[in-house]
Amino acid sequence: MLLMKKAYGIFPPMFTVWKKSDGTYDEKGTEKYIDWLIDNGIQSIVPCGSTGESAGMFMEEQKRVIEHVTKYVAGQIPCYAGTGKYSTPETLELSIHAKNVGVDGLMVILPYYYKPYKAAAMNHLREIHKATELPMILYNNPWFAGYELTAKEAKILVDEGVLTGVKAAHGDANRVSDMKFECGDKMTVFYGHDYAALQGLAAGADGWLSGFPATFPKQCRALQEAVMVEKDLDKGRAIWDKFIPFINFFMDPEVNAQVHWLEMLKWAANVQGANVGIPRKPLKELDPEFKKRMEKPLEILLSI
C-alpha cells in the first residue's frame, strides 16, 4: 500500500506557467517556480487549483500538468492535485490519473455551475473516494461553486472516511472554527481565502491554502509561524498589519471592477523573481496603471 503524505501548513495552489511564445504549458518555467516556492518555505503544494487556472485547461493538458508537477516535486513535500470538474465522470477520470502518477491526495471542488442539491454533491465525493481511496480535501468555495457544505454535512463525509481535509474558502474565520468544532483532529482544516488569514489561523486552522501562499510564500510562512508555532498573537498582528494595505487594494471593489485578482497576483509574484508569466486569455497582463498603484502596498508586504 502506498504511504501518502498528509498536507499541512503553507499550501499554495500554485500558478501554472504558460510560454510567452505560444501560450502552451511551460515545464521549465514551472519547475523554477516550484523551486522558488520550496525555497521560500511552502510545506505542501496543489497543481491545478483555481489559482493554477484549471478552469482554462483542456483535460489532457490538466493531466500533463498534474503528472509533471507530481514527478518534479518527487516527494519533497505533499502534493495534492486539483481534480474537481462539474461532472462525476470527468472528475473520476482526472482523479484516477492523478492517483496513477503518484499524487499524495486530491483537492476537489463541489460540482459547480448547475449547483446540484447537497445529496448529489456528497455522492459525487463518495464516488471519487471509492475509485481512488486517496486522501481528499474538499474545496468548499461558495463563490466559485455557488454553495458549500456546512460543518455538519462535512462531518458526515469525514466520519465515512471520504474526506480528510477542507479548504474553507468562504473567507470568514468562523468556517474554520466550525469545522474544527465538528470534526476535531479527524479533519485537517485550511484557511482558504486571503483577507482574514490572521483570524483563520488564530481560530485553529492547520494551514493556509489560497492565492497568497502561491504569491507570498515567505511572508505567509512568517505569519503562520508567529501564530501557530510561537503562539505569539501580538507578533502575528504586527506581521498582518503589513499585509493589510495590499489586501485593502486587492479587495477594493473599484479595483476589482477593472482588473482581475489573478492578474494582480501573477504580477506580484513576477516582481519577486518567480517568473510565472501572465494568465491565459480572456485575462491578460496587469495594466501599467495598476502596477503603479500596487507598488507601495506591495513594498510594505514584501518587507516582512
List domains and CATH numbers for the chain.
9-231 (3.20.20.70)
- Angle between helical axes of 261-271 and 288-302 (0-180°, round to 10): 60
**pLDDT band, very low/low/confident/very high, at 301 (cuts 50, 70, 90):** very high
pLDDT of residue 111 exceeding 80, the answer is yes
Percent of the chain with pLDDT over 70: 99
Cα–Cα dist 75/296, whole Å: 38
Residues 160-189: tens digit of each pLDDT: 999 999 999 999 999 999 999 999 999 999
Amino acid at 16: T
**Do residues 86 and 59 touch, judged by C-beta distance below 8 A?**
no
Catalytic annotation, pick one of 80, 112, 139, 191: 139
pTM: predicted TM-score of the whole model, two decimal places: 0.95
The strand pairing partners of 138, in sequence order, are: 108, 166
Looking at residue 5, what is its pLDDT?
A: 85
114 is annotated as an active-site residue:
no
Q: Which helix (H) or strand (E) segment is 292 a member of?
A: helix 288-302
Measured between alpha carbons, how far is 65 from 99 in angstroms, rounded to an integer? 14
Distance CA 167, CA 200 (A): 11
Give per-residue pLDDT as tens, 3-60: 568 999 999 999 999 999 999 999 999 999 999 999 999 999 999 999 999 999 999 9
Sheet hosting strand 207-208, strand order edge to edge: 9-10, 207-208, 188-191, 165-168, 136-140, 105-109, 80-82
Grid coordinates belonging to 136: 481528499
What's residue 167's pLDDT? 97
Share of the chain above pLDDT 90, in %: 98
Cα–Cα distance for residue pair 147/30, rounded to 1 Å: 32
Neighbours of 24 (CB within 10 A): 9
Catalytic residue chosen out of the listed positions 85, 167, 242, 266: 167
Given a cut of 70, whether residue 250 has pLDDT beyond it is yes
With residue 35 as reference, give the H or E element that holds it: helix 27-39
**Considering the chain, what is the average pLDDT of its residues?**
96
pLDDT for 208 beyond 50: yes
Confidence class for position 224, pLDDT limits 50, 70, 90: very high
**pLDDT given for residue 3 in this prediction:** 54
Asked if 87 contacts 111 with a C-beta cutoff of 8 angstroms, the reply is yes
Q: Please tell me the predicted confidence (pLDDT) of residue 1.
A: 36
Written as nine digits, the cell of 115 is: 449547483
Asked if 11 and 228 count as a contact pair (C-beta separation under 8 A), the reply is: no
Q: Which residues are annotated as a binding site for pyruvate?
A: 51
One-letter identity of residue 245:
P
Question: Is 167 marked active-site?
Answer: yes
- Residues within the annotated binding site? 51
Q: What is the pLDDT of residue 4?
A: 67
